[in-house]
Amino acid sequence: APSDPDLVERARAAKERLGEKVFVLGHHYQRDEVIQFADVTGDSFKLARDAAARPEAEYIVFCGVHFMAESADILTGDHQQVVLPDLAAGCSMADMATAEQVAECWDVLTEAGVAGTTVPVSYMNSSADIKAFTGRHGGTICTSSNARRALDWAFSQGEKVLFLPDQHLGRNTAVRDMGMSLKDCVVYNPHKPNGGLTAGQLRDARMILWRGHCSVHGRFSLDSVNDVRERVPGVNVLVHPECRHEVVEAADHVGSTEYIIRTLEAAPAGSKWAIGTELNLVRRLANRFAPEGKEVVFLDRTVCFCSTMNRIDLPHLVWTLESLADGRVVNRIQVDPETEKFAKLALEQMLALP
């Protein structure tokens, strides 16, 4: 639906009042009505870097989800305040790994005698606590656009990787990109004693995958791929690495949201693409590339928005910008200094990856 013209005008006016004081970041999964006000759009890696590159902005308004705003707070200066327009914009995947569960897992690895040779690699999609755990144990953060480089680095530091919290990104990168076998991977289930694993299994594994997943990307199945290949002859299937392993194996191309956009930009006119990622982005790409004669369809037939990304809507953005313009800081995301110190180590390790 087109955005309410009154709200559009109010957002524009509040942003104008704020001028250089505010910097608005928008993740690719955000609604069109919000994206139109973003000073920069990107995947989670690009946004983490861009947030850090605006020291003159007093307010960083993060149109994305909670873990992204936390990361922005960690990477920006103390004089900058990061704001999330709706505090309920979380991420179900990030919630699948709590600090207590991960501490317990580390105890299990310690008892099995493997903690000393294990390097934690945590996906950006995790809480600041998990990032701090990662930093404390000499690990790195990764995103879907640098997971391969993060794992290469981790295996230069140790023999095993504990990959948190997305089992699919971990497995897909290890098996598809690095030639490991499925047998090199075990899944640690935080809801079972000892993660459901024996000490022997932990000793034999190279990748210890946390049992987390994205509820949006997890909905794509092998049937979705087979079905779209029948429906759209000649289609190229391009999916995000948060999809299940069999989906990634059946796809033609795999990559982060930035990769998906770049691939479509470079695609020839007349080509057809089925995209397996969040629907706001796929719809935007379908509209953008239709005039160039590139057909973009959604990989599945069922609607697949990320409900928490969608919580950031124009009314919340207007309220946020008007509050800031009136000098009231609302919905500030602030990571405590102790957590920040170690989480920053892990994030900076990621930013330093070759």
Known binding-site positions for iminosuccinate: 27, 44, 123-125, 144, 240-242, 257
- Please state whether beta strands 118-123 and 59-63 pair in parallel, antiparallel, or not at all (unpaired): unpaired
String of DSSP letters for 226-240: HHHHHHSTTPEEEE-
Cα gap 170→210, rounded to integer Å: 9
Residue 44's binding partner among ligand SF4, ligand 13P, none (Cβ under 5 to 8 angstroms by kind) is ligand 13P
Contact 60, 23 (CB under 8 A): yes
Q: At closest approach, how far in Å is the CB of 66 from ligand SF4?
A: 9
Count interface residues toward ligand SF4 (CB under 6 A). 13
Q: Which stretch binds ligand 13P (CB under 6 A): 38-46, 183-191, 226-234, 294-302?
A: 38-46
Among 24, 60, 91, 267, binds ligand SF4 (CB under 6 A): 91
String of DSSP letters for 104-124: HHHHHHHHTT-GGGEEEEEES
Q: Smaller CB distance to ligand 13P: residue 202 or 251?
A: 251
Helix (H, G, I), strand (E, B) or coil at 82: strand
Q: Smaller CB distance to ligand SF4: residue 89 or 115?
A: 89
Return the structure tokens found at 252. 């033609």
Q: Does 92 bind ligand SF4 (CB under 6 A)?
A: yes
Q: At closest approach, how far in Å is the CB of 31 from ligand SF4?
A: 13
**CA-based radius of gyration for the chain:** 21
288: Cβ contacts below 8 Å, ≥ 6 apart: none
Count interface residues toward ligand 13P (CB under 6 A). 11
Contact 13, 22 (CB under 8 A): no
Q: At closest approach, how far in Å is the CB of 259 from ligand 13P?
A: 8
Among 47, 93, 169, 247, binds ligand SF4 (CB under 6 A): 93
Contact 337, 26 (CB under 8 A): no
Interface ranges with ligand SF4 (CB under 6 A): 29, 65, 91-93, 125, 214-216, 278, 306, 308-309
The footprint of ligand 13P (CB under 6 A) covers 43-45, 125, 143-145, 214, 242, 256-257
